[in-house]
Amino acid sequence: MCSGQGDPHFKTIDGVRYTLNIKGELILLRNKLKTLEVQCRTEIYSKPNGDETAATIFTAFALKFNSAAPVHMGLGSGEEGKIVLYVNNEEVDLSDVGLRAAALEGGVQ
């Protein structure tokens, strides 16, 4: 199993752990047949007062599997902690779900 958390700390499928504090879009997983791809976006973490830090945080993920509709989930702009979900490039209304990002010291989880 592979995973990522925090400012990003990664664990690869073969169990290797590392930290990668860069801003950008990354391919987390792609199978050999290129039928499955998982991507993430990381951005510089800013403190509540607006000061930037040396840390980066996950702000979005995207999943594409074969010919299925692509899925994208990330932090929305504006309302703090808002999470937006797109399926096949159309926004899904999450207002009834109550899904929010929990702001934590050092990142969003």
Per-residue pLDDT of the chain (109 residues), as tens digits, is: 666 666 678 888 888 888 888 899 989 889 899 899 999 898 888 888 989 888 888 888 999 998 888 899 888 766 666 788 888 888 888 776 655 544 444 444 3
**Buried-state track 54-70, b at ≥16 Cβ within 10 A, e below 16:** ebbbbbbebbbeeeeee
Angle 47-62-84 from CA coordinates, rounded to 5°: 60
Let me know: does 49 contact 63? Beta carbons within 8 Å: no
Residue 3: name the closest of 61, 87, 75 by CA.
Answer: 61
